[in-house]
Chains A and B, each alone.
Chain A
Amino acid sequence: MSEIRAEEEAIVEEFALFDQPRDKLEYLLELGRDLPPLEEAAKTEANRVRGCQSNVWMVAEFDPATRRLTLRADSDALIVRGLIALLLRLYSGRTPEEILTTPPEVFARIGLGRLLTPGRQNGLWAMVERIRAIARAFAGAEVAAGSA
C-alpha cells in the first residue's frame, strides 16, 4: 500500500469515532486550530490558491536528494485549515509520482465527499488541484532532466 493510502486508512479510523456531521466538522475545527500557521511573508498572491471563498496559501519545497515534496499551507478560515491539515498528512513528504497517481479517496470515505465538488466554496477541490499541479511541475522537471 502506498504511503498516501496508508495515511488515508489512519484518517478513516480517526473519523470512525464520529457518526454525526457536526462531530466531524468539530473535529476539523480542532485540526484547524492545531495547524501550524504559515509565516506572513509566505502569504503572497503567487502562493494564493484561487477558487476558495476563504484565502488559502500553499508553499512547496522539493528535495532532489529524497525526491520528496514538502507542503505547507494556511487559510483564514478554520474548517479550511482542518481540511489543509488532512491534505498535508496525505501529500506532504511524498514523491510527485505518488501524489499524481493517488487522488484523494478519504474524503468520500469519511462522509465529506461532497466537499470535493468543483466550485464548492471551501476550495478543497482547488487545493487538491494545486497540489497536483505542483507535483506535475516537479515530476515533469525530473522527466525532462532525465531525458536530456
Chain B
Amino acid sequence: MNELAAATAESLDVEAVRAQFPILARTVNGRPLLFLDSAASSQKPRRVVEELRRFYYEDYANIHRGVYELSQRASQLHDQARRAVQRFLGARDWREIVFVRSTTEAINLVAWSFLRPRLRPGDEILVTEMEHHANIVPWQIVAGERDARVVVVPVTDAGELDLDALRRMLGPRTRLLAVTWVSNVLGTVNPVAEIAALARARGVPVLVDAAQAAPHLPVDVAALGCDFLAFSAHKMYGPTGVGVLWARLEHLEAMPPWQGGGDMIDRVSFAGTTFADPPFRFEAGTPDIAGIVALREAVAFVEALGRARIAAYEAALVARLEARLGEIPGVRVLGRPARRASAVAFTVDGVHHQDLGTMLDLEGVCIRTGHHCAMPLHARFGLAGSARASVAVYNTREEIERFADILARTIALLRG
C-alpha cells in the first residue's frame, strides 16, 4: 500500500500543476512566494479564473428569471455546476446540493432550519473539541434559544478524537452530532464513516464539516453515511463566496426555509406564501452565479488530477514537513495523529507565533499564526495560539525543505 501510494504520488507532475497557478510565480518581499496557508484559502488555477472572466464577458445574466437566451444559458451553467458537485460528492440526487455562501452558512442553515425546530429544553448537541468556531458557535446560539446544551467530545494528547468518550456521550437526548472530517489546526483525519455509523445506530443525525477535507481527500457521501456535509469552494481551488451544503433529500424536504426572498418561493401573496422545493427553498436571492459556475472548473481541476493521487502526493509532503519540523530545536508539533491531511500546527519555545509569522513574511513565506478560529482546541493544549503550515497540491518537496531551513534561521534570529 505504501509503495503504491509512493508510486501514485510520484506520478503527479507538480511543475505542470504549478504552471496552472500564475500567482505562484510571483515574489514577496523580493523572495519567491512560498505559500503554505492553503488551509485558510487555496490559490486559484487559471481555468477557474478564466471561467469567471469568460462567464462575465460572454454568458452573464441572472438565472431562473428570463426566458431570453442569455438567462437560459446562465441558468444552464449554474445547473451544470450543481450536477458537477453532485457527482463530485457521490450524491444520488441533484436536489441534495444546496448552494450557500460558505461552510459557515451551510452549518448555520442546518442549525436554524433543521435542528432548531426539533430542539427541546435539555436536548444535547454533540460537537468535538477540535471544531472550527463555525462548527461550534451556530450550535451554541440555537442551543441558547432552546435551553439545550452543547456537549463536547474531548481530544486526546495525540490530537485525535476520544472515540470511547464519543460513544458514551451519544445519549438519548443527543439531537445532532457535528464533527469535522479534517482538523483545520492539527490536520487530523477523523474516522468520520465510523463515527457516522455510531451516531446513526442511535438515530442521531450527523453533520460533517468537510471544509478541510474536500480539497485533500476523496469524498463520497454515500460511503460516509452522514446526513449533512458542508464545504467551501475557496479552499478547494474555487472562487470565494460559494459554499455547498449536501443533505439527504428527506431532510431538505422536511426543513422550513431559513431566509426568505426571491427564487425560493412557489407563490407569494399577502394571504400566504408557499415555498419552492429543495434546493431552491434554501437559495433565496441572487446567488454568486459566476462563483458557482466557476466552481465547476475547480471540481474539474481536482478530478483531472484525481483525488486519490492528490491525497497520496500531499501525504508525502505532510510527512516530510512533520519530520523536518521535529528536527528543529524548540519546535513542538501539536498532536501526533495516525493520519494527517494538509495542516501541521506547531509552537516554538520562547518565540511568539506572531513574531514568527511576521519575520517569515520577509522571506516570502506565508503561514497562519494565531488561534486559527479554534480557540477551544488551543485551550485544550494550554495554548493561546500556534503557527500552522498547510500544503496543497501545488506545493513541492523542495518548498518543504526550504521552509524548514528558513524557519530554523528565523527562530535563531528571534531568540537573539
Contacts and interface: CB of A to CB of B under 8 A. Distances in A.
Interface string A18-29: 000110011001
B354 A33 contact: no
A78 B362 contact: no
Contacts of A77: 352, 354-355
A29 B354 contact: no
A102 interface: no
A122 interface: yes
Contacts of B2: none
Interface residues of B, number: 15
B384 A55 contact: yes
B273 interface: no
B414 to A, nearest CB: 7
Contacts of B362: 21-22, 25
B278 interface: no
B352 A76 contact: yes
Interface residues of A, number: 16
Given A76-B352, A77-B352, A122 B384 contact: no
Interface in B338-359: 352, 354-355, 357-359
A108 B60 CA distance: 42
Give the interface SS of chain A, mostly helix, strand, loop or mixed: helix
Contact of A29 (B370, B385, B416): B416
B416 A122 contact: no
A104 B370 CA distance: 27
Given A53-B385, A80-B354, A29 B369 contact: no
Nearest to A82: B355
B414 A121 contact: no
Nearest to A76: B352
A19 B349 CA distance: 31
A31 interface: no
B269 interface: no
A108 B345 CA distance: 33
B29 interface: yes
Given A33-B416, A53-B369, A78 B355 contact: yes
A25 B358 contact: yes
Instruction: Among A21, A55, A78, A122, find the residue whose CB has the most chain B CB atoms closer than 10 A.
Output: A78
A79 interface: yes
A54 interface: yes
Interface string A75-106: 01111100000000000000000000000000
A121 B370 contact: yes
Nearest to A30: B416
Given A22-B362, A25-B362, A121-B370, A79 B385 contact: no
Contacts of B385: 53
Contacts of A80: 354
Interface in B306-344: none
Interface in A57-81: 76-80
Given A53-B385, A121-B354, A78 B414 contact: yes
Given A77-B352, A77-B355, 13 more contacts: A21-B29, A21-B362, A22-B29, A25-B358, A25-B362, A53-B369, A55-B384, A78-B414, A79-B354, A79-B355, A121-B357, A121-B369, A122-B354
Interface of B: 29, 352, 354-355, 357-359, 362, 369-370, 384-385, 413-414, 416
23 contacts: A21-B29, A21-B362, A25-B358, A25-B362, A29-B355, A29-B416, A53-B354, A53-B369, A53-B370, A54-B352, A54-B354, A55-B384, A77-B354, A77-B355, A78-B352, A78-B355, A79-B354, A79-B358, A79-B359, A80-B354, A121-B354, A121-B370, A122-B358
5 A-B pairs with least C-beta separation: A77-B352, A77-B354, A78-B355, A54-B354, A53-B354
